[in-house]
Structure 1
Amino acid sequence: MLEISLDQAEASVLDPRMRPSSNPLVKVWDIASVEFGRPDLDKALSFLNDFGLTLDCRDADTAFLSGLSGYGPCYILRRTDTPCFRGIGLVVRTLEELDRVATLPGASAVEQACGWGEGKQVRLTDPAGFPVRVVQGPRHETPAPRHSLVQNLELPRSRVNAMQRPPLGAATVLRLGHAVLSVVDFFRCVRWYMDNFGLLPTDVQTIGDSDPALVFMRCDRGDTPADHHTVVLVQNVANQYSHSAFECMDLDDIAMGQEHLLSNGWKHAWGVGRHLLGSQIFDYWRDPWGDKIEHFADSDMFTANHPADVTPLTTGGLYQWGPPVPSDFEAPKLTPAFLWKAIRNVRRSDEMTFTRAKKLLKAIGDKPRPWVGKH
């Protein structure tokens, strides 16, 4: 019987460029937010409400949304003429750490956090040009509307004379879990996040001769477990948003949320399935402007002493089970403007080359399930 396992791939030694910082500026505790510019806030809010986020407040040009827990609003909308991604927010635990972040080149002074009366923030920009806000303040917690369902799996059967009837409606978004970004200068960006924010590599994926091209990074919480990944960086020919992911209660919550989104005519992207790296149950959607957003549940958790794993980058490495990856899932729209930008980025970059870009295309272009259709 064929088994899908990371053990099939011979692990490599961690590339020195991917090693954690021995003395980071601060150690971020979590992800706080993602931010987008949208020309139609009403349309954006209609989708996000059906996705499971709750509107905190809005005016004509700005809206702030949250899950049941987190550090201030986890989804920020700004009215813009054209749709765009406007960056991520990360959490530090103390004002002293926030003061240290404010010393970084190009950082703002400590100021009131956007949409969060109890929080403070520092604004800065990463090497790929993505805005980053680092926030500090209290975490809020709202009880979930139900407990996870009791399953009759093996003996003893614990659910007797009772039926499973999860409610049909929007998924219960608990919190923002992670964001995935494509970057041209991969190693420069990785070092920036590791050296400044103490992020740790959990899984590194490679192309060609074991050359890193993707890293799943988690927060360094010492002996307190952290999600398998909080920020993921993958090398590409353009600096662009890939997706953000929001934790839900369980598989039934994700599946009923899928029914709700489908019933309201929103565009499904991929799922339901289970990731190989991180183990999350996933379901991806497209917002009205085509950007991907994910429901997930059941993430792996790691303490700081867990070493990084190194495996080859393949599309098959995205999932253990689930429907085939759609052909447009990671493929950009090949407009003349995008192609020109990609060529210009490769020519200007010290890291990305046309040869490297070809290796990346080969890695993600190989058939993820080569045995499908053979029998």
Structure 2
Amino acid sequence: MNDPVNDRLITHLRHVDLAVPDYDAQLRFYTETWGLSAETTDDGIAFLAAEGSPEQYSVRLRKDDAKRLDLISFGAADAADVDALAQRLGTEGVQLVSEPDKLQTPGGGYGFRFFDNDGRTIEVSSDVAVRQHRKVEEGESIPVKLSHVVINSPHPEATVAFYDRHLSFALSDTLTSPHVGDVMWFMRTNRYHHSLAIARCPHVSLHHASFEMRGIDEYMRGTGRLLRAGVEKVWGPGRHMAGNNTFSYFLDPHGNTIEYTTELEELDEDTWHPHLYDFSDPEVTDQWGTANPMSEFVAKKSFNDPDRGVFVAPPV
């Protein structure tokens, strides 16, 4: 593994961009039900912000004939780091989708895009204007920020190696079992336990996107609000062992799994050693014992539909 800090040019997770056929239903869900704010909307595209986040937006929705993950966006400290990373990736044979340039999305900035080994579009940017955000109040059951994104891969070991080698993500923990072997790798790009996780799956797809809530009370209020609204719950509420974070997984109108979470573990990167957790132990998947058991239903929902955007850059 690389030096987890000194080689690292990526600072944090910015946003996740989704394309869907039923754009209007998706937009209503993410704003009226999930609790994001429509900062900027245009014909068939919307930029949705989390109230507590300085990021211009945490989710971008785009109308398209096919459901797909458009891209995952990460931040860099400055334009020099963006240029250095683009040069590094190009030299190492990674396929760039665009060269570093001014961004035309809300908040501007400077960035570029590339394909990872599975064909997902990844964006890295710097100098994006800080959004006027606010402190989420006690009892407010809306997302503070985008916490992490989990992706599915049919070749997860190669995908883990890609993010380690090319982007200096560090491994925090791995889920395994005696029966099926390793199934999920949690990777970090700062002190938080994971900004990205990679799961074993028959195909490339989005596993889930997770949103941080203010605290346990707000997380439970949000979970209950979605249940009362009739949103399909996949798994939770509970508390994972890897990352020590709470979880409640739901399905958006297009079948993407999305999560409310809180209290994701912050690590001392100098002293942390990755664990190998046996997820056949119920306490590993849910320390509290309050969630429905991990089952084939939960796993199948998290597999999602095969991504239609593999090695096809989004049009915007």
- Taking structure 1 as the reference length, what is the TM-score of the superposition? 0.71
On the 8 A contact 2:15/2:58 being kept in 1, the answer is: yes
On the 8 A contact 1:106/1:124 being kept in 2, the answer is: yes
Q: Distance in 2 between matches of 1:40 and 1:303?
A: 43
Name 2:236's counterpart in structure 1.
271
Name 1:142's counterpart in structure 2.
133
Measure how far apart 1:210 and its partner are: 10
AA aligned opposite 2:133: T
Q: Distance in 1 between matches of 2:221 and 2:176?
A: 36
Could you say what the CA RMSD is over the residues aligned between the two structures, in angstroms?
2.7
Q: Distance in 1 between matches of 2:16 and 2:214?
A: 21
Q: Distance in 2 between matches of 1:32 and 1:320?
A: 29
**SS of residue matched to 2:243:** coil
Measure how far apart 1:144 and its partner are: 2.0
Structure 1 residues 22 and 231: alpha-carbon distance in aligned structure 2, compared to 1, 3 A threshold:
closer
AA aligned opposite 1:71: E
Q: Distance in 2 between matches of 1:290 and 1:312?
A: 28
AA aligned opposite 2:37: T
On the 8 A contact 2:242/2:277 being kept in 1, the answer is: no
Residue 71 of structure 1 pairs with residue 36 of structure 2: no
Name 1:324's counterpart in structure 2.
292
Structure 1 residues 113 and 26: alpha-carbon distance in aligned structure 2, compared to 1, 3 A threshold:
farther
Q: Distance in 2 between matches of 1:139 and 1:271?
A: 33
Residue in structure 2 matching 1:298, options 263, 278, 282: 263
Q: Name the larger-Rg structure.
A: 1
Measure how far apart 1:265 and its partner are: 3.0
Residue in structure 1 matching 2:74, options 73, 90, 95: 90
Q: Distance in 2 between matches of 1:295 and 1:114?
A: 30
Structure in which a larger fraction of residues adopt strand:
2
On the 8 A contact 1:28/1:197 being kept in 2, the answer is: yes
Measure how far apart 1:113 and its partner are: 3.1
Residue in structure 1 matching 2:84, options 100, 114, 121: 100
Structure 1 residues 125 and 41: alpha-carbon distance in aligned structure 2, compared to 1, 3 A threshold:
same
**123-132 or 325-334, larger mean C-alpha shift:** 325-334
Residue in structure 2 matching 1:56, options 15, 31, 39: 39
On the 8 A contact 1:21/1:195 being kept in 2, the answer is: no
**237-246 or 70-79, larger mean C-alpha shift:** 70-79
**SS of residue matched to 2:159:** helix
**SS of residue matched to 2:300:** coil
Structure 1 residues 278 and 79: alpha-carbon distance in aligned structure 2, compared to 1, 3 A threshold:
same
Name 1:311's counterpart in structure 2.
277
**SS of residue matched to 2:10:** coil
Structure 2: give runs of 5+ residues left out of the alignment: 308-316
Measure how far apart 1:21 and its partner are: 4.7
Residue 132 of structure 1 pairs with residue 122 of structure 2: yes
Name 2:105's counterpart in structure 1.
115
**76-85 or 264-273, larger mean C-alpha shift:** 264-273
AA aligned opposite 1:110: P
Query: Can you list the C-alpha shifts for 1:239-295, whole angstroms capped at 9, x where unaligned?
Result: 111101010111221222233323433222222111111111221111001111001
Name 1:35's counterpart in structure 2.
17
**SS of residue matched to 1:323:** coil
Query: Can you list the C-alpha shifts for 1:168-220, whole angstroms capped at 9, x where unaligned?
Result: xxx22111111111112222211211122211111023355996442111114
Q: Distance in 1 between matches of 2:273 and 2:136?
A: 37
Measure how far apart 1:78 and its partner are: 1.2
AA aligned opposite 1:330: A
- Taking structure 2 as the reference length, what is the TM-score of the superposition? 0.84
Q: Distance in 2 between matches of 1:132 and 1:118?
A: 17
AA aligned opposite 1:143: R
On the 8 A contact 1:24/1:197 being kept in 2, the answer is: no
Q: Distance in 1 between matches of 2:7 and 2:180?
A: 29
AA aligned opposite 1:112: K
**SS of residue matched to 1:227:** coil
Fraction of identical pairs, as percent: 21
Residue 202 of structure 1 pairs with residue 176 of structure 2: no
**SS of residue matched to 2:269:** coil
Alignment of 1:229-248 (within 5 A): 229-248=194-213
**SS of residue matched to 1:330:** helix
Name 1:370's counterpart in structure 2.
none
Alignment of 1:252-263 (within 5 A): 252-263=217-228
